[in-house]
Amino acid sequence: MSRLSSGGLIDRATPLAFTFDGRSYKGFAGDTLASALLANDVRLVGRSFKYHRPRGVFSAGSEEPNALVELRTGARREPNTRATMAELYEGLEATSQNRWPSLAFDLLSANQWFSSVLGAGFYYKTFMWPAALWEKLYEPAIRRAAGLGRAAEQADPDSYEKAFAFCDVLVIGGGPSGLLAALTAGRAGARVILADEDTILGGRLNSARTAIDDAAPGAFLARARAELSALPNVRVMPRTTIFGVYDGGTYGALERVGDHLSVPAPFQPRQRYWKIVAKRAVLCAGAFDRPIVFGGNDRPGVMSAQALRTYAVRYAVTPGRNAVVFANNDHAWSAAFDAADAGVKVSAIVDVRETPPPALLAGATARNIRVIAGGEVIATSGKCLSSITVRTRGGTETLQAEVLGISGGATPNLALTSYFGGRPKYDAALAAFVPDQTPPGLSVAGAAAGQFSLAQCFATGAAQGVAAARDAGFAATPAPLPETGDTPTSLSAFWHVQGSKGLAFVDFQNDVSAKDIAIAHKEGFRAVELLKRYTTLGMATDQGKSSNMAGLAIMAELTGQGIGETGTTLFRPPFTPVALGALAGHHREKDFRPTRPTPTHDWARKQGAVFVETGLWLRAQYFPKPGETDWLETVTREVKAVRSSVGLIDVSTFGKIDLQGSDVGVFLDRVYINTFSTLAVGKARYGVMLREDGLVMDDGTTARLADDHYVMTTTTANAAKVYQHLEFCLQVLWPDLDVQLASISEQWAQIAIAGPKSREVLAQVVDAPLDVSNTGLPFMGAVEGRVMGGVKARIFRLSFSGELGYEIAVPARHGEALTRALMAAGAPFGITPYGTEALGVMRIEKGHVSGNELTGQTSARDLGLGKMASTKKDYIGRVMAGRPAFADRDRATFIGFKPVDRAQRLRAGAHFLPLGAVPVMENDEGYMSSVAYSPTLDHWIGLGFLKGGRARIGQKVRAYDPVRGGDIEVEVCDPGFVDPEGERLRV
Amino acid sequence: MSHYSVLSIIANAFNGQKGWTPAWRDAAPKPVYDVIVVGGGGHGLATAYYLAKEHGIRNVAVLEKGHVGSGNAGRNTTIIRSNYLLPGNEPFYEWSMKLWEGLEQDLNYNAMVSQRGVLNLYHSDAQRDAYARRGNAMRLNGADSELLDRDQVREMAPFLNFDQSRFPIQGGLLQKRGGTARHDAVVWGYARAADRLGVDIIQNCEVTGFIRTGDAVVGVETTRGPIRAGKVGLAVAGSTSRLTRLLDMRLPIESHVLQAFVSEGLKPLVPGVITFGAGHFYISQSDKGGLVFGGDIDGYNSYAQRGNLPVIEDVCEAGMALFPRIGRLRILRHWGGIMDMSMDGSPIIDKTHLPGLYLNAGWCYGGFKATPASGWCFAHTLAKDAPHAFNAAFRLDRFRSGHLIDEKGVGAQPNLH
Amino acid sequence: MRIPCPYCGLRDAHEFSYLGDATVSRPAPDMPDAQEAFFHYVYLRENPAGAHEELWYHAAGCRQWLVVSRDTRTHEISGASFARAPKADASHAEVKP
């Protein structure tokens, strides 16, 4: 065990058992998986992407490139989980990934012996011959070797939530600057949200021993946390990562509600995805300790100097016997000191600087730490680190070390500032990029702004807290700052040890070495974006958090350009990877989209209806009866019942729009191709409306209930689109018209009854004195009245089926009662409920166009409706429908089809070819849009579009359907298959 | 310049990688060219390559404001397919597919063209019939297509959600020859091959104006000085309107942002490309193991190269509807590219009313798959002053005449295409 | 993106649907060369990289058509007004975010 005997923020009273690769270990509450593994002397944790090199824990935070594991098992398996961010819980199961057969012995690690062949971009230069082998051999092999962890093999069993939050000031990060920003803004009365990706507020203060107000940092943290939780206007959100910034001050955040538990708590989601709308935000995300590039810098046991400090101080772990620190900056020394003071044996500090500051030298002496100034680590050895080789002016020397804490300086964590395209600027004194332009409303404080010392963090955090609160309208005053002894850190820019031994890694996870950057340079991939894409530098799961700086510094060395001129690649959200499930929330599987049941849904279900998705609606498709063996038998029975007696269908899904005002007639004349201003009160008319580009948008019937009152129906699919279009016409095109619109689709149930007996059925449910006789309510009549003893109703004598028919609209809550009343009234006639299939069959028998024909690619003329268009008025789409292509004689137009051999089945989607013509595009004459088996005619019938259209009635063409093996002769015919004169609906 | 092969790789392994040379020259502009192609993306570079290779026109410059492939060529989701419906489109895209099939040997560059199939799912009878119509149109054009039923889809993609679906999968239209290609490699392959034929690839050279003689366009003003040319071709999808504005041309194009997503790397999970038919979602898996996916455009005019959360949520919702085992997988990056959304959803490859100016534009969200044929056809149009049969329908005046190529039938509203 | 609806206040853009350029106006159908004028109206766009006046419909709100002033390079919205208000006296309905 490498657990220190005392200290740390772990709860030693709460031991937790966990397994890694099947072996059992013990940790404590407060551990991460990484700290617990290190405490158990598990140093080999993962394998790299390309060379499958053994890797350990590099960091103690969200920037971890190496220690990725599969967390949990079964349906909850989470590949690529950073061990440094996984909180330990009782029973945690983790498995190493990207290795075979085992973590300790991975056959693909042989790749590293061929690293000189597998350099940057090698795959673009080979595997080209023979072409067929790419999919069969090369690519499958590459794919199996690539990738990291394995996805779960079942649906994610956990749930996710979405939530909105609004605040005046959002503080991103709960370290020293974030605490001061939140306290300052909070004290001023601003509504503050403080979001921190860690489990406890404090950031680096949880890992440091630096005195604040002459006490350990814990005392300051306790006060700050207490005050924040006491402020009612401050909301602290731990375990919450702000992953992106979006327009309008909207921030995406992921709260890990249950990830620290084996399963989420009852009735709690696993994660909650927040959209936080903030008037102002302050980014206090701190900085990353970045690695130095040298041979063997990836060996397990090499970690960032700050991670060494964190494991020692926060987790009371010594990550190996004998620690050495290799750095170019002061901050790494204080990390070494804190680690030593916590109980880690730190034997040496190697600093590339010849003359480190005297105060640091004194600190080292006091702790009995050897200092090697002007030294560089040039090699490491051991499967897990056992020793390092240091080069000094005096020669080389080998030191025993199981831990090497490396630090090339701090890289401000400024990703959020550049998501709107802001390019960070290079600060040579800090050897770091610092924020320049930020998204509107976002300012930066603390280490994220390059203000690395604790005093700077406090000062800039407070100042930005004041500024943000003031911008949000609160009179904020700067508070006294906590006293701290630390001083601004100094460093000497240093990136890459020249002439070191072995592969020197820049991007650990993707195995991009300094040599790969040299290849990219030689081949001209020098712009940072090209460098990234050619070498995959910065494209791993850490998105280059640890690697980008060194990579572009090395490229800058090679090109001779400055680092500032070389620039960074664009940062992209999310800041850390976000589970897809969280962004989907509960909109998944059956709840992907809302379900709209019709007013008679429950009734239909009790009748045994089979339902079909129609947009968001569920509609009854057909009503099978016991003994019926397939849908066709059922649908045939339903059609025959309607044609011979009476049937009933719920047509509530049609869009229904109420139009009132003195100008409705004028308005309708402008939106329909035909005329409605002349429609008599009490009558309905079929109308067609176009888009402004001249193609058909929708059709439906509109009835006039009073001089200034019309009701329009639209197709089910286009209900919302038509309503929006009408509002556009009214508000944008013709605001002077006196018309008011209201969507009443939800408010009215509409039940259709059709068939020769439908009038007799209707007559039984209407209240006196409503007259539904042929004279009282003639074809295309529309009346208002009462049904079922007082229920308000609108009755339209319309027919889609071609039979005598009515549509009865009642307030939606009466829809089922009306249906039951009609069914009871129709019982003597054997009234038959029918579904959308039978409705479709009957409309095809009648040759009516429907959704399959209203494709948005068809004009009124194409649909055979050209004659409806008024020539006496303007209407939407009229002018554009006059374009040359619309009158093209070669355009396919609407027509009917029947199989020459009446026993053959038709298929929609078949293309028409002249008889005997070869099946090539040049011979394509159109296609079949709708087909049905006609019970009335006892054979299949079809509708479709054919070049020449009606002029070809009587001709035969080939219906070619190779995707279903169909190739038959069909006869072109009038689309009105049944009762083309329309006599039955006028009886 | 070295030929790429296993031998060249091994040779360099033994000489410390010293033998590699720049994949293309970093050319400085000459005062005059026969043809200037504006735009160093896939389409522009392919145009230059085919001008040199097919038409012997080698005195060609490709002008790129940043570095090659820094626009949509490097931001797309790498899908190649030719599953189009309309006669104006399908022959062109099938020609593109044929060019893809020989591309790597032609360019001596492995662009990882991977024909692992493109499967479009359908969820209703009407959608099935629409796909049958499309599949039949593809067959009539010599492309491959198969209409699968539910069981066949289940066999191919058993990991999809068949049993708990709001919009159950009923089947799919499969194009086996469809798949993906490595987008950056396509750019680099064309750049290297064009360079070898003498084309000057001039990076960091932004066009700021046009040199005119009367109506005619006879060159461009750039950040690296004026450059004259016999013909100027624009292949700058995403920025087309910005350039044509300099010529007072209004186009049937709006610029919209399309977002794309990649997950963390994973062991093989998704074969080929799968598209959801009841929502905006499509997915494939890269050779590196990342799931590459996307959905609808954000829907408002934008040049910002980034999008917003509603579409991100929409994409993930559709993903979880179709594929609920990806819930715990994580999005690694999301980004946006600017699309030339045309008014009928189809592209433009044509001469313009200005002598000397040629236009390749309006690719909507489908430009990547078109790269080879777009370059090939634009080169033909530039060289011959007339379109090839493959791009004859992609005329600029089709909106005036009404000869629209509207696959989705949504009309002159670019954000719905 | 958040749109300052003059009726509903500042609302997330997902409540709205987008139509596009608000500066085009429907030509008089009886003007000479109406077909050319309609072609311009229906199909041609300025498509600026910068300030853009555009139509949004508050579908999940007040169902009003709005003219929103937005920069297409930054997505910053500088104001919104009812589309039905005549331009001249839009000031009373103008709302800043």
Please list every residue in chain B whose beta carbon sits closer than 8 Å to the beta carbon of residue C48. 241, 245
Residues A273 and A418 in one domain: yes
Give the minimum alpha-carbon distance from C47 to chain A in angstroms, rounded to a whole number.
19
Is residue B316 domain-resident?
A: yes
pLDDT digits (tens, 9 = 90+) for B8-49: 888 888 888 888 999 999 999 999 999 999 999 999 999 999
Give me the residue spans of the domains in chain C.
2-25+38-93
Whole-angstrom Cα distance, residue A354 to residue A428?
19
Give the Å distances, CA to CA, from A903 to A898, A935, A940, A970, B72.
10, 13, 8, 11, 53
Q: Are the beta carbons of A250 and C30 separated by less than 8 Å?
A: no
What stretches of B235-289 adopt beta strand conformation (E)? Answer: 253-265, 273-275, 282-285
Residues A661 and A726 in one domain: yes
Chain B contact for A579 (CB, 8 A cutoff) = yes
Q: How many other β-carbons are positioned within 10 Å of the β-carbon of residue A867?
A: 8
Q: Number of structural domains, chain A?
A: 5
Domain range holding B57?
25-79+85-94+101-106+183-251+345-416
Q: Which of B129, B269, B328 is opposite residue A909, by nearest beta carbon? A: B129
Give the minimum alpha-carbon distance from C41 to chain A in angstroms, rounded to a whole number.
9
Residues B208 and B320 in one domain: no
Whole-angstrom Cα distance, residue B51 to residue B55?
5
The token duo for A228 is 């924040």
Is residue A970 domain-resident?
A: yes
What CATH number is given to the structural domain containing B273? 3.30.9.10
- With 80 as the cut, is the pLDDT of residue C91 above it? no
What CATH number is given to the structural domain containing A782? 3.30.1360.120
Is residue A277 domain-resident?
A: yes
CB proximity under 8 Å: B 229-268 to C: 241-242, 245, 250-255
Q: Are the beta carbons of B268 and A921 separated by less than 8 Å?
A: no
Whole-angstrom Cα distance, residue B210 to residue A488?
53
pLDDT of residue A942: 98
Q: Are the beta carbons of B9 and A125 separated by less than 8 Å?
A: yes
Residues B172 and B280 in one domain: yes
What stretches of B105-222 adopt beta strand conformation (E)? Answer: 118-122, 146-149, 171-175, 179-180, 200-202, 207-213, 216-222
pLDDT band at B1 (very low <50, low <70, confident <90, very high): low
Q: Which of A98, A525, A911 is opposite residue B137, by nearest beta carbon? A: A911
Q: Is B397 left (phi over 0), alpha (psi -120 to 50) or beta?
A: alpha
pLDDT of residue A127: 86
**Interface ipTM:** 0.96
Q: Which of B324, B342, B360 is the last residue of a domain?
A: B342
Residues B351 and B364 in one domain: yes
Question: Which amino acid is located at A582 in the chain?
Answer: A
Cβ-in-10-Å burial (0-12, 13-18, 19+) of A847 comes to buried
Give the Å distances, CA to CA, from A640 to A628, A846, C48.
15, 14, 60
Closest CA to A887 of A912, A901, A869: A869
Beta carbons within 8 Å of C76's beta carbon, 6+ residues apart: A247, A440, C70
Closest CA to A399 of A426, A414, A384, A377: A377
Residues B282 and B212 in one domain: no
pLDDT of residue C85: 67
Report the relative pairing of strands A956-961 and A966-973 from DSSP bridges.
antiparallel
Q: Are A328 and A489 in contact (CB under 8 A)?
A: no
Closest CA to B195 of B62, B43, B3: B62
Q: Are the beta carbons of C72 and B245 separated by less than 8 Å?
A: no
Residues A167 and A186 in one domain: yes
Q: Which of A709, A743, A777 is the last residue of a domain?
A: A743
On average, the pLDDT of chain B sits at 96
- Which runs of consecutive H residues, i.e. helices, occur in C44-91? none
What CATH number is given to the structural domain containing A703? 3.30.70.1400
Closest CA to A451 of A177, A667, A692: A177
Length of chain A: 987
The three-state secondary structure class of B405 is coil
Question: What does the DSSP 8-state code read for residue A489?
Answer: -
The second-level CATH assignment, the architecture, of C2-25+38-93 is 2-Layer Sandwich (3.30)
Q: Are B347 and B361 in contact (CB under 8 A)?
A: yes
pLDDT digits (tens, 9 = 90+) for A846-858: 999 999 999 999 9
Give the Å distances, CA to CA, from B266 to A98, A149, A150, A259, B271.
9, 5, 6, 21, 13
Whole-angstrom Cα distance, residue B245 to residue A225?
57
Whole-angstrom Cα distance, residue A265 to residue A258?
7
Identify the residue whose tokens are 């009606």.
Answer: A950
Residues A699 and A606 in one domain: no
Is residue A874 domain-resident?
A: no
pLDDT digits (tens, 9 = 90+) for B338-392: 999 999 999 999 999 999 999 999 999 999 999 999 999 999 999 999 999 999 9
Chain A contact for C57 (CB, 8 A cutoff) = yes
Chain C contact for B20 (CB, 8 A cutoff) = no
Beta carbons within 8 Å of A137's beta carbon, 6+ residues apart: none
Is residue A706 domain-resident?
A: yes
Question: Which amino acid is located at A518 in the chain?
Answer: A
Give the minimum alpha-carbon distance from A437 to chain B in angstroms, rounded to a whole number.
15
Q: Is A381 left (phi over 0), alpha (psi -120 to 50) or beta?
A: beta
Residues B208 and B357 in one domain: yes
Minimum Cα–Cα distance from A441: chain C residue: C76
Residues A903 and A982 in one domain: yes
Query: In chain B, what percentage of residues exceed pLDDT 90?
Result: 96
Please list every residue in chain A whose beta carbon sits closer than 8 Å to the beta carbon of residue C63. 727
pLDDT of residue A130: 82
On average, the pLDDT of chain A sits at 96
Question: Which amino acid is located at A567 in the chain?
Answer: G
Is residue B11 domain-resident?
A: no
Beta-bridge mates of residue A786: A792
pLDDT under 70: residue ranges of chain A: none
pLDDT of residue C88: 43
Chain C contact partners (≥3 CB pairs within 8 A):
A, B
The three-state secondary structure class of A721 is helix
Residues B199 and B219 in one domain: yes
- The widest CA-to-CA distance across chain B, in whole angstroms, is 66
Chain C contact for B353 (CB, 8 A cutoff) = no
Give the minimum alpha-carbon distance from A728 to chain C in angstroms, rounded to a whole number.
7
pLDDT of residue C62: 96
Chain B contact for A123 (CB, 8 A cutoff) = yes
0.90 cut: is pTM over it? yes
Whole-angstrom Cα distance, residue A282 to residue A445?
7
pLDDT band at C96 (very low <50, low <70, confident <90, very high): low
The three state secondary structure string of B343-366 is: CCCCCEEEECCCCCEEEEECCCCC
Residues B404 and B266 in one domain: no
Chain B contact for A135 (CB, 8 A cutoff) = yes
Mean pLDDT on B66-76: 95
CB proximity under 8 Å: A 668-707 to C: 692-693
CB proximity under 8 Å: B 47-66 to C: none
What CATH number is given to the structural domain containing A435? 3.50.50.60
Q: Which of A151, A577, A927 is opposite residue B325, by nearest beta carbon? A: A151
Beta carbons within 8 Å of B135's beta carbon, 6+ residues apart: A909, A962, A963, B83, B145, B146, B147, B173
Residues B259 and B408 in one domain: no
pLDDT band at C86 (very low <50, low <70, confident <90, very high): low
Chain A contact for C13 (CB, 8 A cutoff) = yes
Closest CA to A83 of A129, A149, A37, A47: A37
The three state secondary structure string of A65-84 is: CCCEEEECCHHHCEEEEECC
Is residue B2 domain-resident?
A: no
Whole-angstrom Cα distance, residue A162 to residue A774?
57
Q: Which of B294, B316, B342 is the last residue of a domain?
A: B342
Whole-angstrom Cα distance, residue B162 to residue B148?
14
Chain C contact for B157 (CB, 8 A cutoff) = no
Domain range holding A938?
889-986
Whole-angstrom Cα distance, residue A699 to residue A590?
31
Q: Which of B342, B375, B396 is the last residue of a domain?
A: B342
Is residue B35 domain-resident?
A: yes
Minimum Cα–Cα distance from C38: chain B residue: B400
Cβ-in-10-Å burial (0-12, 13-18, 19+) of A67 comes to buried
Chain A contact for B327 (CB, 8 A cutoff) = yes
Contact pairs from chain B to chain C, CB under 8 Å: 72
Whole-angstrom Cα distance, residue B406 to residue B343?
9
Q: Are C57 and C65 in contact (CB under 8 A)?
A: yes
Q: Which of A435, A454, A471 is the last residue of a domain?
A: A471
Q: Are A37 and A17 in contact (CB under 8 A)?
A: no
Residue A919, preceding peptide bond in cis (omega within 30° of 0): no
Is residue B4 domain-resident?
A: no
The token duo for A238 is 């731990």
Residues B382 and B284 in one domain: no
Q: Are the beta carbons of A728 and C65 separated by less than 8 Å?
A: yes
Beta-bridge mates of residue B315: none
Closest CA to A542 of A2, A62, A55, A204: A62
Please list every residue in chain B whose beta carbon sits closer than 8 Å to the beta carbon of residue C67. none
Give backbone dihedrals phi and psi of A783, rounded to 5 degrees, phi first.
-130, 155
Residues A611 and A691 in one domain: no
Give the minimum alpha-carbon distance from B214 to chain A in angstroms, rounded to a whole number.
31
- With 50 as the cut, is the pLDDT of residue C90 above it? no
What CATH number is given to the structural domain containing A906? 2.40.30.110
Q: Are the beta carbons of A125 and B109 separated by less than 8 Å?
A: yes
Chain C contact for B39 (CB, 8 A cutoff) = no
What CATH number is given to the structural domain containing B62? 3.50.50.60
Residue A130, preceding peptide bond in cis (omega within 30° of 0): yes
Is residue B118 domain-resident?
A: yes
Please list every residue in chain C whose beta carbon sits closer than 8 Å to the beta carbon of residue A735. 84, 86
Minimum Cα–Cα distance from A254: chain B residue: B330
Please list every residue in chain C whose beta carbon sits closer than 8 Å to the beta carbon of residue A697. none
Chain A contact partners (≥3 CB pairs within 8 A):
B, C
Q: Which of A421, A448, A471 is the last residue of a domain?
A: A471
Residues A72 and A210 in one domain: no
Q: Which of B255, B310, B399 is opposite residue C47, by nearest beta carbon? A: B255
The three state secondary structure string of B384-399 is: HCCCCHHHCCCCCCHH
